[in-house]
Structure 1
């Protein structure tokens, strides 16, 4: 009996070996067109990152070419002991969280307004999308020169109508000034995502809620908002990834000042590398920022994928 079973298993394994080989060949055949793109991605992303890690382990200042020595993790210890680095990290978190939060809240409000039919809705939608289409450099100059200028800015002219003295916004409130420009730029993006979610919402569910006597508030809280969850999560994730890399607004509006009061991590890395010429510490900061961003993005992506799986 045992011999028959062994023969059967051996025959079964012989029959499955060609099938497994064919499946593997088919899998590689499908992957082959993607290999050039994968190799290119590795070359332009992972190789520079490995070089950056190598630089981060060395004490290399362009003003002292002869002082290029291997120092191990000394650069990492120095940056974590650097109070300016901790302040820039705090500014990065503050700017990112505040910008994404206010942009999403305003975007939800505008999306709810645009979801209703009214005359001129297409024109209003186009005008509201315009800030997101403007280049960050041009938008920064608009806010620095036309809006927040202490002498002839529109914001000071507006508050002057009610008797408030002019304010030098970029010097007195640098982080707030940057936030105003960023929220103005990113609100249309959040609005478009939420508006797409609203227009994808089943109308029969809303009609059933109205028939049951649910008011607008309850309908929005218990039906519309849960439906928009995946769109809001996606907007928060994409917005955070892009806003944390903000550089143009800080460079053009405040130059990280006064002092380093409004500098975030990308701007501080720029200062260390291109103004302080300290390649070793700048590379160490870049490695820390990349690792922290990957960890946060991975956690956020898992939450979003879990939300999609639960919805499905």
Structure 2
């Protein structure tokens, strides 16, 4: 390596550090508030620690992970997490696409309609859960049961009879506006000249939507599904307030079951092990989804 090349390399490294330098405090802060607690959680997961028996704290290795693999309730909570997450994200995305297509057309009062449709996403999850539990799904005076009785059918105690369905209704109602906004942004980013050319060539609405609009929306749909999965898999408020994980543990998902083990069963070691498993599984799924999204962006470019 010549002196000129070495000097150029040092200058390039110095320029790189000059650009990254202002970001170092944020990076250090992120590591402190995320990675350090995760390492502490891993340490707790390797110990038998119960808050009711402080003197029983001892190192047990991977025994907590073995107990998790043998825990049928954990497997049921994991299945519930998958059902609730995929059900919410897919239904919310389907409804979001329909609403976005309707709002993309000009009509009187469109701005008012957009504002009203966005409102559910602006509510706190706790407020949304209370609204659906008390005003919509209450077995005695809920609006949904009132409508059912008008049709001559028997009222249903949704939280007890169909707890996962009740949770899904509240989650889909809250997440549909988010999906709608993403899809609407994709619709408004479409090149109008391509749509006009398709119309001049005699392509109908369905043909235009399937051949032009839907491929254009692919990256927006993938991004909405990924973000929805990351956030919905951590759902706690709706389950805690609407069903309390019941009847029994029928509607408990992983975050709620971890809460039960940690703050009701006081088993810190096993709860920490569950948290580590959930974090690793979430990272794997998110990494695969991000790779698919980045690949679609590269193909588009």
Q: Is TM > 0.5 for Structure 1 vs Structure 2?
A: yes
Structure 2: distance between partners of 1:105 and 1:190? 9
Structure 2: distance between partners of 1:141 and 1:219? 42
Q: Give the TM-score normalised by structure 1.
A: 0.96
Alignment deviations for residues 23-47 of structure 1 (CA, whole Å, 9 cap, x no partner): 1111111111111111101100000
Structure 2: distance between partners of 1:153 and 1:180? 14
Structure 1: distance between partners of 2:177 and 2:250? 28
| Counterpart position of 1:147 | 136
Does 2:31 correspond to 1:23? no
| Counterpart position of 1:111 | 100
Does 2:41 correspond to 1:52? yes
Give 3-state SS (helix, strand or coil) of 2:105's partner.
coil
| Counterpart position of 1:8 | none
Q: Which runs of 5 or more structure 2 residues have no equivalent in the other structure? A: none
Show the 5 A alignment for 1:290-309.
290-309=279-298
Give 3-state SS (helix, strand or coil) of 2:249's partner.
coil
Give 3-state SS (helix, strand or coil) of 1:54's partner.
helix
| Counterpart position of 2:64 | 75
Give 3-state SS (helix, strand or coil) of 2:2's partner.
helix
| Counterpart position of 1:14 | 3
Alignment deviations for residues 40-63 of structure 1 (CA, whole Å, 9 cap, x no partner): 011000000000000000000011
Structure 1: distance between partners of 2:178 and 2:257? 27
Q: Which runs of 5 or more structure 1 residues have no equivalent in the other structure? A: 1-11
How many residue pairs get matched?
301
| Counterpart position of 1:269 | 258
Q: CA deviation at 1:70?
A: 0.1
Q: Give the TM-score normalised by structure 2.
A: 0.99
Does 2:177 correspond to 1:198? no
Show the 5 A alignment for 1:128-147.
128-147=117-136
Structure 1: distance between partners of 2:196 and 2:188? 14
Give 3-state SS (helix, strand or coil) of 2:55's partner.
strand
| Counterpart position of 1:32 | 21
Give 3-state SS (helix, strand or coil) of 1:257's partner.
coil
Q: CA deviation at 1:162?
A: 1.0
**Which of the numbers 263, 268, 272 marks the counterpart of 1:279?**
268
Structure 2: distance between partners of 1:112 and 1:82? 45
Q: CA deviation at 1:14?
A: 2.1
Structure 2: distance between partners of 1:184 and 1:21? 55
**Which of the numbers 239, 243, 249 marks the counterpart of 2:232?**
243
**Which of the numbers 152, 156, 166 marks the counterpart of 1:177?**
166
| Counterpart position of 1:88 | 77
Structure 2: distance between partners of 1:124 and 1:19? 58
Structure 1: distance between partners of 2:74 and 2:278? 11
Does 2:219 correspond to 1:212? no
**Which of the numbers 117, 132, 147 marks the counterpart of 1:158?**
147
